[in-house]
A and B are shown apart, each in its own frame.
Chain A
Amino acid sequence: MAHAYTPGLRVTTRTRIVKERRLPLKGEVVVKAGEVMRAEDVVARTELPGNVQPVKAASMLGIHQEDLEEYMLKKVGDHVAKDEVIATAKSFFGLFKSHVKAPVDGTVESISTVTGQLIIREAPIPVEVHAYFDGTVTEIIPEEGVVMEAVGAFLQGIFGVGGETSGELALAVQKPDEELTPDKLNESHAGKIVIGGSRIQLPAIDRAKQLGVRAVVVGGIDDADLKQLLGYDLGVAITGHETLGLSLVVTEGFGRMTMASRTFDLLGGHVGRRASVNGATQIRAGVMRPEVIIPTETHLTDVREEEGEVQGLTIGSPIRAIRTPYFGRLGEVTALPPELQKLESEATVRVLEVRFPDGSTAVLPRANVEMIET
């Protein structure tokens, strides 16, 4: 094999950003192709069928279930208001009346004479899809959504929590190896996306939430702090639905991790610009990484993509080590020996040789590096 290809995370200064923005089920698209949108603008909306509330009507009335229809005041399809009497029965020569009241506003969906149960469906739940980033609508997917496009910087993190948000980029540290501590956060960060350095710990996350920071982009986080933040020990990396008060994008990994200088410089170069962040991560087949989008041109221009065809690992490729004992170190590939080699763990695998910026070298399993993609 001439090349080994290990996909890495994208960190790109200028690229065409294209995203489909779809409704979960069919609905109405409220924009037109060519319109320029802000991140928070609605592009499509629909209504999800309402929740259903079963009511054990026969037992509440003290009647046989097969007689239920006789006692109903409403039919299937009728609208009912909360607390409205929908069935009634007299007993003991009409001295006592028992009622069934609607538990919610809605419509009668079904009346069962086998189970004696009614089903009331609540009003539909409105769902809206936003543009997510500042850009142009380039395509309408009828009844489903749109395709949004912009030109700008794009970078992926390795792990994140919290959903989509947007705001102005702000820098809270001077260097990529500096920790984002509570004292570095202030009122000016409210409503912004704050760039940290090597790590953020719980007190700083709490401070950021208090201040109304929209998102934090940082090199690393300790798992113990993540557990505190979520309130549970995360078992499987499927995130994005959390409501934490802010979104978090981790660019390198767990622990104290100096943010890759390329990432730090790219973010730092756009301070003051509007950006969009999504913390959603899904590490399964069809992997999804958290991302930061910094649109620089909402009117589309031709973009000659910086990257050529993916070449795979070759001599000279910039890489990042992604497993102990070299975890987080950046270097350059100096050799790709074809034969298998035995590691300290005694596993026999394909390896590569790497030179680190301080001149030292090491042999690493190919599975334990990722290419730094541009």
Chain B
Amino acid sequence: MSEGKELRSILATDCGSTTTKAILIEKQGDSYRLVVRGEAPTTVEAPFEDVTKGVLNAIMEVEELAGRKLLDGDKIIVPQNGTEGVDAYLSTSSAGGGLQMMVTGVVKSMTGESAERAALGAGAIVMDIVASNDRRLPHEKIRRIRDLRPDMILLSGGIDGGTKTHVVELAEIIAAADPRPRLGSSYDLPVIYAGNQDAIPEIEERLGGKTSLEVTENIRPVMERENLMPARHKIHDLFMEHVMAQAPGYKKLMSWTGYQTNSGWTSAPIMPTPAAVGNIIQTIAKQEGIQVVGVDIGGATTDVFSVFQDVFNRTVSANLGMSYSVSNVLAEAGLPNVMRWVPFDMDESELRNRIKNKMIRPTTIPQSLEELIIEQAISREALRLAFEQHKALAVGLKGVQQERTISDTFEQSSSGETLIDLLGLDLLVGSGGVLSHAPRRIQSVLMMLDAFLPEGVTQLAVDSIFMMPQLGVLAEVNERAATDVFVADCLIRLGTAVAPIGKGKEGQTALKATIQLPSGAQHVEVPFGSMVRLPLAVGETANATFEPQGKLDLGSGPGKSLQTELVGGVGGIFLDCRGRRPFEIPTDPASRIRKLTEWSDALEVYPKEHATASA
């Protein structure tokens, strides 16, 4: 924290694998606001091989746009002096493929999963989980570790005081593999030990000389409790000390980042981009006391973040994305799942070729409406699959013996249930090209509704220009500045969705609503299988009473009414009576096309002529 010193201006960059993005934030009156944003190509790879060149280029663009001097030659002016310079410079990075880790655990679904959650939460991509019970033979595990060349290994396994044999065996496997780090062979591979504390001497004996071993607290000291933070902090430290320090230009960049405090200039670490995004999402959840899901869909990967019951989880689906990995979405989802979102007939072979052509020319964009519709259909499946993976990992602890009474034994509850509660979800935030740059904002609304199927009352938003990373690293230094900008400038409020759970009869009234819109009270009846959109602008709210019909449920119980306040946005209010648990799309092509067109028309998602133009 900034020790009471008020920051007048903040410059923050995010060094992505292709683009470096800089934002300038200034204190205006009582709150912090985004002033301008600039960007330039990232310069980690040849011919530049110095990340700071791209950073300086992006800052130069900010200087021009803001009309303010920030640089003195190749140096950022700190602290602010009159109108020149800034009081803080911070940065995140995912350049060079981000942080790639391998983790280990004794039992894959217990310590293995805890290790995976620790690494993902720290912003890493988990390349593989090696576990004693993963059914691979030891030599197969050794070969795998050698082939992967991770940036770092998190070695965990066993509870404190438990058996040591398995976790020591894992250390022996790592020692036998003698893995070399991905970036350069001039330093030893960092290995973090966060397993059974009784085995520390044996682990040190086996790995001490061969790797750069760091020991920290056990991530699973007892079966009933996870302790992920010490391992996550260690991952961040080693990311800075070893991995980042090897990347071209980062030593210089690390010497720049910091902020002004009462006691002078304090340096600040560079955060892995996904860790920073997770940070801002947690900050918002904590400040507003809400449950949040955030998603960032990129060209190669899709990240999902959630905070439920104060527990933060992050997953990365490494091969679900809209360009480099687009073909993998088709391979994983299967053609029928993609086609169910396409409101016209299309030959399978033609669709396959088009998707592959996007994969080999990833920077192209949809020119025709038909191409846009296909791309948005694929994105629904990428988002759905990434969210499925997230639900499977964001779970309560497995392997925990629960105390039960006789009555409990008749219930189906078991350990390892997902924490994701769609009915309790308050805010769903989307970002990434296909969501942030959809030609119509309402297209993002429908993509998110279709992919995530939120239940009850849920607010939707998109990150307009993807500045969550910079705000995440800023939250570490000045939480208020980060949340001010997040609320005022980062999020574009799309509106609020209202979706009852359950199944009704097609065409029969599913929901009666009375909404006090600024233009006057509006009474609406929505038939089952339909959607209705009502206007409610950004900054406006409306009190509403909903009466779900039959056994449909908005969270108050089947058929029970619900009074709530709705928050407006650029899309307004969306009454989604298409059903949940199950949500169904007709399987015969003619009915499917009719329903998709009906929903699209109700929300004005695509220009009306698309059906005739494309069919």
Contact = CB atoms under 8 A, between A and B. Distances in A.
Interface stretch (A211-219, A281-289, A308-316): A281-289
A367 interface: yes
Given A54-B142, A54-B172, 14 more contacts: A54-B139, A114-B168, A224-B352, A235-B332, A236-B359, A283-B360, A286-B45, A323-B358, A324-B354, A324-B357, A344-B368, A346-B372, A347-B365, A365-B367
A222 B347 CA distance: 13
A283 B367 contact: no
Contacts of B363: 367
Q: Nearest 10 CB-CB pairs, A to B?
A: A235-B328, A346-B439, A233-B331, A223-B352, A345-B372, A54-B138, A254-B353, A254-B356, A255-B353, A323-B364
Interface string A255-278: 100000000000000000000000
Interface in A39-65: 49, 51-54, 65
Interface in B363-388: 363-372
A234 to B, nearest CB: 6
A324 B364 CA distance: 10
Contacts of B17: 285
A323 B366 CA distance: 8
Nearest to A26: B185
A115 interface: yes
A349 B360 contact: no
Contacts of B325: 235-236
A215 B269 CA distance: 51
A325 interface: yes
Nearest to A362: B367
Nearest to A327: B357
Contact of A236 (B168, B169, B175, B319): B319
Contacts of A49: 178
Contact of B361 (A115, A158, A232): A158
B165 A254 contact: no
Contact of B360 (A253, A324, A364): A253
B164 interface: yes
> Which of A54, A222, A234, A365 has the largest number of chain B CB atoms within 10 A?
A54
Contacts of B324: 236-237, 283-284
A159 interface: yes
A213 to B, nearest CB: 23
Interface of B: 17-18, 45, 97, 138-139, 142-143, 164-165, 168-169, 172-173, 175-178, 202, 300, 319, 324-325, 327-328, 330-332, 348-350, 352-372, 437, 439-440, 607
A343 interface: yes
Interface of A: 49, 51-54, 65, 109-110, 112, 114-115, 117, 119, 121, 158-159, 222-224, 226, 232-237, 253-255, 281, 283-286, 322-325, 327, 343-349, 364-365, 367-368, 370
Contacts of B358: 323
Contacts of A348: 439
B353 A345 contact: no
B361 A324 contact: no
Given A114-B164, A236-B328, A345 B352 contact: no
A281 B437 CA distance: 29
Nearest to A232: B331
A364 B367 contact: yes
> Which of A54, A222, A235, A286 has the largest number of chain B CB atoms within 10 A?
A235
A345 B176 contact: no
A51 B138 CA distance: 11
A345 B368 contact: yes
B357 A254 contact: yes
The dominant DSSP class at the A interface is loop
Contacts of B319: 235-236
B254 to A, nearest CB: 22
Nearest to B321: A236
A325 B367 contact: yes
13 contacts: A51-B143, A54-B172, A114-B164, A226-B356, A235-B332, A236-B319, A236-B359, A237-B324, A253-B353, A344-B367, A345-B371, A367-B363, A367-B365
Contact of B364 (A110, A222, A236, A367): A367
Contacts of A53: 138-139
> Which of B168, B357, B607 has the largest number of chain A CB atoms within 10 A?
B357
Contacts of A114: 164-165, 168, 202
Given A158-B361, A234-B327, A237-B327, A110 B368 contact: no
A65 B363 CA distance: 58
Given A223-B356, A253-B361, A347-B439, A233 B349 contact: no
Nearest to A223: B352
A345 B138 CA distance: 53
Nearest to B176: A52
A54 B173 contact: yes
Contact of A115 (B165, B330, B607): B165
A119 B174 CA distance: 12
> Which of A236, A322, A368 has the largest number of chain B CB atoms within 10 A?
A236
A284 B348 CA distance: 26
A115 B357 CA distance: 52
Contacts of B331: 232-235
A65 B164 CA distance: 12
A237 B360 contact: yes
A117 B175 CA distance: 13
Contacts of A324: 354, 357, 367-368, 370-371
A320 B362 CA distance: 15
Contacts of B168: 112, 114-115
A156 B134 CA distance: 42
Contacts of A345: 365-369, 371-372, 439
A226 B164 CA distance: 48
A281 B110 CA distance: 38
A347 B172 CA distance: 56
A233 B335 CA distance: 11
A232 B331 CA distance: 9
A224 B349 contact: yes
A322 B361 contact: yes
Contacts of B440: 346
B174 to A, nearest CB: 12
Contacts of B372: 345-347
Contacts of B18: 285
Contacts of B368: 324-325, 343-345
Nearest to B364: A323
Contacts of B300: 236, 284
Contacts of A234: 327, 331, 356
A287 to B, nearest CB: 9
Contacts of A112: 168-169, 172
Nearest to B372: A345
Contacts of A286: 45
Contacts of B367: 323-325, 343-345, 364-365, 368
A80 B354 CA distance: 56
Contacts of B165: 65, 114-115
Contacts of A115: 165, 168-169, 172
A234 B363 CA distance: 19
B536 to A, nearest CB: 23
Given A54-B138, A255-B357, A285-B97, A368 B364 contact: yes
